[in-house]
Amino acid sequence: MSLETSAAELSELLQNKTPVLILDIRAKERYMQGHITGSANAVCQNMQQKQVIMSKIPPNMKIILVDDDGTSSRENAMMMARFGFDVHFLKDGIKSWNKELVKSTQDTSIDGDSLWESLKDKKLFLLDVREPDEFAEHRIPGAVNIPLSQIFSSDAQQSIPRDKKVVTVCSHGNRSMVATFALAQNGIEASSLVGGMAMWNQVLIATTLKEGDVTIIQVEKIGKGCLSHIIGSNGQGVVIDPTHPASRYVKFAQKEGLEISRVIDTHQHADHVSAARDLARMTGAKLYLSKLEGYKIDSEKIVDGDTIPFGTKQLRVIHTPGHTAGSMSFVLDERFVFSGDTLFVEGIGRPDLRDMVEEFAANLYHTLHNKLLALPEDAKIFPTHHGDGIRPTQNGVYYTTVKAAKTLPLLDLSEADFVAKVASITTPRPMNYSVIIKINRGTIPISPMQIPDLEMGPNRCSIRM
Ligand SMILES: [Fe+2]
């Protein structure tokens, strides 16, 4: 059977509104300059992605491949036919098409940083095409879920607004690309989020707070709500709890005229891979880690009462066990506190990730009441996470104060009630938490390529009532 389709035959199919998936396999720029109406751009980075994409296309669909001249579309059609697809290619390619070509009004793909910028614009419709259980587990706020299995039905597409820019989202950017094929059939343009939720979780943004002679740059891993801080004094910066990609911190610091001279982790994180080692290596900065967490990483080990100098300031180290046994918090000028996962804007650190919940909960009680809440009432507390739905406190920066923290539920309980209550709360653990702990301890190696997949899913280091 010939796989060729002539321009006249394709034109007739379109006129008769015969369901057909027209996949334009030319480079994105060429497609965007002008393509056949109803066609979608299908460009795969490699064979593996091609196979994944094919596995997501409904097998009963009639497919027509389009390229410049009918050469590579023929080869691809022959390959897809071997997989059992009803596939054809446009004979002589786009140059044989003598009808009007449509120009794209939006990019066919979008990266995480650009999506973050675009989210500020309300004219965006985020369409998450993963399965409902994946969507329920973790999603970009405001996204609407229509699973890929339903998106090929025009009924399902009725709820998609025509006056908004559509961005499709999945876990790795494959299903979201296939969704753009289905939408193109109905004349809906869409941009697929490159790398999906895995890459969304790697987007870092920075917000700066200046108070007197102190600069605090709060860096947020927006997909997970992880917070980290660059504290600047007199041109020098200390970074607390950096996340990947580490190179972003160098840029954020440079923008405020800071050179990173110290890097610290408050504790062994369970929900994200620490970038502290890489950042210290990259910048030549000194790395500080708790002496009480069993780290197998070359670093200066810190204990309660130590000081870490930078610029004209110094950080005072306080041992704040509870979330982990060796968690440290850092106090600057008795006005700013960096509390890791011990105390958050909306709750307290969970003490159950190391399997000794009652002992850790009792430690947490003492840490909170006798150490953190004993600091001056107006001291600002900067945590390492914020929970879902929590709004920034001031100008985009998340923090709480000692005074506000004293009003948190759970903190009015006696020690015995606190331990009993905290031990009874069961929250799912972060995905991959035990392997992430080992990586962060320095006992198993990690390649940067593995980080996005390891960090899939929400952060789950806090408990709140
Ligand atoms: Fe943590």
**Phi, psi values for residue 329, rounded to 5°:** -120, 160
Question: What sign for the dihedral angle of Cα 454, 457, 459, 463?
Answer: negative
pLDDT of residue 423: 86
Give me the mean pLDDT over the 421-437 stretch: 84
Do 380 and 399 form a contact (C-beta atoms < 8 A)? yes
Non-local CB neighbours of 424 within 8 Å, separated by 6+ positions: none
* 334 CA to centre of ligand 1 in angstroms: 24
* 377 CA to centre of ligand 1 in angstroms: 25
Dihedral of the alpha carbons of 10, 15, 20, 22, in degrees to the nearest 10: 50
* 6 CA to centre of ligand 1 in angstroms: 60
* 425 CA to centre of ligand 1 in angstroms: 17
Give me the mean pLDDT over the 140-165 stretch: 92
Task: Check whether 464 has a pLDDT greater than 70.
Answer: no
pLDDT of residue 149: 92
Q: Do domains 4-96 and 109-199 have the same CATH topology?
A: yes
Task: Check whether 431 has a pLDDT greater than 90.
Answer: no
Non-local CB neighbours of 249 within 8 Å, separated by 6+ positions: 219, 228, 230, 239, 242, 260, 275, 279
Question: Could you give the CA distance from residue 103 to residue 36 in angstroms, rounded to a whole number?
Answer: 9
Query: Where are the domains positioned within the chain?
Result: 4-96, 109-199, 201-463
**pLDDT tens digit string along 383-396?**
999 988 888 988 88
Task: Check whether 14 has a pLDDT greater than 70.
Answer: yes
Task: Check whether 25 has a pLDDT greater than 80.
Answer: yes
Question: Could you give the CA distance from residue 436 to residue 366 in angstroms, rounded to a whole number?
Answer: 27
In the block, tokens 């999603």 appear at 139
pLDDT-derived band at 426 (thresholds 50, 70, 90) equals confident
* 77 CA to centre of ligand 1 in angstroms: 50
Question: Could you give the CA distance from residue 15 to residue 18 in angstroms, rounded to a whole number?
Answer: 8
**Among the listed ranges 15-24, 245-254, 321-330, 388-397, which one has the minimum average pLDDT value?**
388-397
Non-local CB neighbours of 381 within 8 Å, separated by 6+ positions: 337, 339, 343, 372, 399, 400, 401, 402, 405
* 430 CA to centre of ligand 1 in angstroms: 10
**Among the listed ranges 24-33, 102-111, 387-396, which one has the minimum average pLDDT value?**
387-396
* 462 CA to centre of ligand 1 in angstroms: 8
pLDDT of residue 425: 81
* 386 CA to centre of ligand 1 in angstroms: 12
Q: CA angle at residue 43 from 40 to 44, to 5 degrees?
A: 135
Query: Is it true that domain 109-199 has CATH number 3.40.50.2300?
Result: no
* 165 CA to centre of ligand 1 in angstroms: 37
* 354 CA to centre of ligand 1 in angstroms: 11
Do 151 and 129 form a contact (C-beta atoms < 8 A)? yes
* 111 CA to centre of ligand 1 in angstroms: 28
* 34 CA to centre of ligand 1 in angstroms: 50
C-beta atoms surrounding 55 within 10 Å: 11
* 340 CA to centre of ligand 1 in angstroms: 7
pLDDT of residue 393: 87
Token pair in block for residue 369: 């009441």
Give me the mean pLDDT over the 220-234 stretch: 95
C-beta atoms surrounding 360 within 10 Å: 26
CATH level 3 topology of 4-96: Oxidized Rhodanese; domain 1 (3.40.250)
**Phi, psi values for residue 147, rounded to 5°:** -60, 150
Question: Could you give the CA distance from residue 126 to residue 190 in angstroms, rounded to a whole number?
Answer: 10
pLDDT-derived band at 461 (thresholds 50, 70, 90) equals low
pLDDT-derived band at 1 (thresholds 50, 70, 90) equals low
Question: Could you give the CA distance from residue 150 to residue 407 in angstroms, rounded to a whole number?
Answer: 47
* 246 CA to centre of ligand 1 in angstroms: 18
Non-local CB neighbours of 148 within 8 Å, separated by 6+ positions: 56, 129, 130, 170, 175, 178, 179, 182
pLDDT-derived band at 462 (thresholds 50, 70, 90) equals low
* 342 CA to centre of ligand 1 in angstroms: 8
* 241 CA to centre of ligand 1 in angstroms: 10
Do 401 and 379 form a contact (C-beta atoms < 8 A)? yes
* 412 CA to centre of ligand 1 in angstroms: 23
Most confident of 36-50, 112-126, 236-250: 236-250
Which long-range contacts does 415-423 make (Cβ < 8 Å, 24+ apart)?
415/362, 415/365, 418/361, 418/365, 419/358, 419/361, 419/362, 419/365, 422/348, 422/351, 422/357, 422/361, 422/364, 422/463, 423/352, 423/357, 423/358, 423/361
Task: Check whether 459 has a pLDDT greater than 80.
Answer: no
* 19 CA to centre of ligand 1 in angstroms: 51
**pLDDT tens digit string along 328-358?**
999 999 999 999 999 999 999 888 776 788 8
Give me the mean pLDDT over the 295-300 stretch: 97
* 230 CA to centre of ligand 1 in angstroms: 18
* 461 CA to centre of ligand 1 in angstroms: 5
* 181 CA to centre of ligand 1 in angstroms: 40
Most confident of 132-141, 352-361, 455-464: 132-141
* 114 CA to centre of ligand 1 in angstroms: 29
* 341 CA to centre of ligand 1 in angstroms: 5
Cα 406 → chain centroid: 31
Look up the CATH number of domain 201-463.
3.60.15.10
**pLDDT tens digit string along 44-65?**
989 999 999 999 999 889 999 9
Task: Check whether 176 has a pLDDT greater than 70.
Answer: yes
Question: Could you give the CA distance from residue 291 to residue 12 in angstroms, rounded to a whole number?
Answer: 74
pLDDT-derived band at 430 (thresholds 50, 70, 90) equals confident
Give me the mean pLDDT over the 140-162 stretch: 92
What is the DSSP pairing of strand 214-221 with strand 380-383? unpaired
